[in-house]
Structure 1
Amino acid sequence: MDAFARLSDEIQELVSEFSSAPVVGNLTFGLTQYSFFLLVAAVVFCIIMAIFVKKQKLVPHGFFVNGVEYLVEYVENDVAKGVVGTGWRKHFPFLATIFFFILINNFIGLIPGMKPGTGAIGCTAALALVTFIYFVYYGCKKHGVIGYLKSLAPAGVSFPMNVFVWIIEVFSLLLRPITLAIRLFCNMFAGHIVMGSFAIMATLFAEPLLEHFSAMNALGALPSIAWLVILLIIYVVELIVAFVQAYVFTVLAAVYIQIAEAEGH
């Protein structure tokens, strides 16, 4: 029971560590650890892009340049051209920025001792709000404000059903930034809690052996090996999730841009 009680306490402490805490100032007017690492990710992003642009030549060479080039082309072909369509070129800088910024944030959060900016709902909400403003702006720019609002109801639906459908579409439109923010936040937050939990379990089983070496303690520490193996597997999975979540967020942004600019629904 003591072991279970301690495990419960450790996990509760782990969860509390992921709560936003002010680094400078307070929670109302200040900088939390998530905001801090969000800024760190922004600086790293700028450095990576500056080095990439400087080293990029007509024929890219080197692991770094080719790696970044591959990701840029991936966003260009698979997301911008593949989803947005004809007018992809003007939206590509925004989509690429969103993708790389989220990806770097997610990867930074996988470094021990660091937190992902995307692990706080406030940070993901800010990203989602920027995306929402972006595609609504281009929808209004393409159709006009009234035209964009009218376009939310599909053509060919008669009155009064078109009013009912329009209300549903407006509600769906307002839900988009909420779902974008929550999806990214939940995946990053939950993944780190799971990894932390397995690390705690591995530590609890190995602790007696570290304090005093004996055959009995060595036998009791064997489950730690299993927990560590599972932890490493989860870590690899989280690396994949970090990429997938950046991709999903960017694809959904592209889909919303395409819908906003589409001629008639």
Structure 2
Amino acid sequence: MVDTVLLAMVANPLDGLSDEMDELLDGFMSKPLVGSSGLGLTNYIFWMCVALALLLIVIFAFKGRQTKGLVPQGVFVNAMESVVEFVRDDMCKSILGDSWKRHFPFLAAIFFFIVANSIVGIIPGAHPGTGTIGVTGALALCSFFYFIVMGIKRMGPIGYIKSLAPKGVVFPLNVLVWVIELFSTFLRLVTLAVRLFCNMFAGHVVMGTFAILAALFVGPLMQGVSAAAMGYAAASAFWIVLLIVIYLVEILVGIIQAYVFTLLSAVYIQLVESE
């Protein structure tokens, strides 16, 4: 992608930035790898499967080493146990109370799935599942149906529907409150999906932009050593340093987004259980 621009580059490296950005954004489009569009294996689904496979390998490796002794040994096992305890204590016990055991598998699965996709997303050329609204929407649907089912299981279908309007509100105000609460319930689905997608997509665009700038500014140095070329090379080194920082920040953002998504799911579950 960058090679064509490097060969055609003359005085100003930024001359090729517009074309490169267009190509970068086009690369974020969902494209079929196998089968027809919309029905086959797309680039995003492929990398989502890669993230899922890596996650399963890590989980089985963790369980295999964990069962070898009562006391956890090794950096890997201790690190994994710390993360599991973090999900258990900060996202389950603190919000759900005594019912945390029932919901822990679901919430932990969501958290680790999002983190796995975020880590895969820093691989150059990767298109993780959380980078498309289809996957984040599916995750939001899972969370949405989960807390709805928990509410119906606890109060019954009619009881759950009635619970949307607080008790003691007189007619016809209770109807208005019920409609607002119903809209708010469905709005949770949209906010979960859009928040995760926008943060992940924006991070990938920023990383791609810094990578392009680093490559464009090092181009003149390949055409010959000169004062201008050395200046561009220094600028390229600056963009590379920023790119490394952005990579580290993106990993942190991915973990934070997984935390927020899981935390909100736990809050929604707690709301239906406290009615």
- Smaller-chain TM-score bracket: over 0.9
Residue in 2 aligned with 1:49? Answer: 59
Q: C-alpha displacement at 1:214, in angstroms? A: 2.6
Q: Note the 1:28-107 alignment, pairs <5 A.
A: 28-56=38-66, 57-107=69-119
Show CA shifts across 1:103-143 (max 9, x none). Answer: 00110111122221100111111111111111100110001
The 10-residue stretch of structure 1 (87-96 or 42-51) with the greater mean CA deviation from structure 2: 42-51
Equivalent residue number for residue 26 of structure 1: 36
* Paired position in structure 1 for 2:200: 188
What is the DSSP-based 3-state SS (H/G/I as helix, E as strand, rest coil) of the residue aligned with 2:34?
A: strand
Q: Which residue is equivalent to 1:15? A: 25
| One-letter amino acid of the counterpart of residue 183, structure 1 | R
Cα distance in structure 2, aligned partners of 1:244 and 1:13:
29
The separation in 1 between residues aligned to 2:98 and 2:195, in whole angstroms, is 28
Letter in 1 for 2:137: A
* Shift of residue 213, structure 1, vs aligned partner: 2.4
Letter in 1 for 2:65: K
Unaligned runs of 5+ in 2: 1-10
Q: Which moved more, 1:3-12 or 1:104-113?
A: 3-12
Task: Give the conservation status (yes or no) of the 8 Å contact 2:13–2:220.
Answer: no
Asked if the contact 2:31/2:43 (under 8 Å) is kept, the reply is yes
TM-score (norm 2): 0.92
Distance 1:51 1:211 in 2: 49
Instruction: State the Cα distance separating 1:47 from its structure 2 match.
Output: 1.3
Contact 2:13 2:217 in 1 (8 A): no
Do 2:120 and 2:128's aligned partners in 1 also have CA atoms closer than 8 Å? Answer: yes
Q: Tell me the CA shift for residue 230 of structure 1.
A: 1.5
Alignment length (residue pairs): 263
Q: CA deviation at 1:216?
A: 2.9
Aligned-partner SS, 1:37? helix
Q: 2-side partners of 1:248 and 1:221: how far apart?
A: 40
Distance in 1 (alpha carbons) for counterparts of 2:228 and 2:19: 25
Whole-angstrom distance in 1 between the partners of 2:14 and 2:219: 15
**Pairwise CA RMSD of aligned residues?**
1.4
Contact 2:215 2:236 in 1 (8 A): yes
**Structure 2: how far apart are the matches of 1:236 and 1:142?**
43
Q: Which moved more, 1:160-169 or 1:224-233?
A: 224-233
CA distance in 2, matches of 1:94, 1:32: 26
User: Which blocks of at least 5 consecutive residues in structure 1 are unaligned?
Assistant: none
Q: Secondary structure at the match of 1:87?
A: helix
- Correspondence 1:166-177 to 2 at 5 A: 166-177=178-189
SS in 2 for 1:58: coil
Query: Is the contact between residue 45 and residue 128 of structure 2 (CA under 8 Å) also seen in structure 1?
Result: no
- TM-score for both structures, normalised by structure 1: 0.95
Residue of structure 2 aligned with 1:149, choices 140, 146, 161: 161
Q: Deviations over 1:7-61 (max 9, x none)?
A: 1111111011011001111222111111111111121121111111111031111
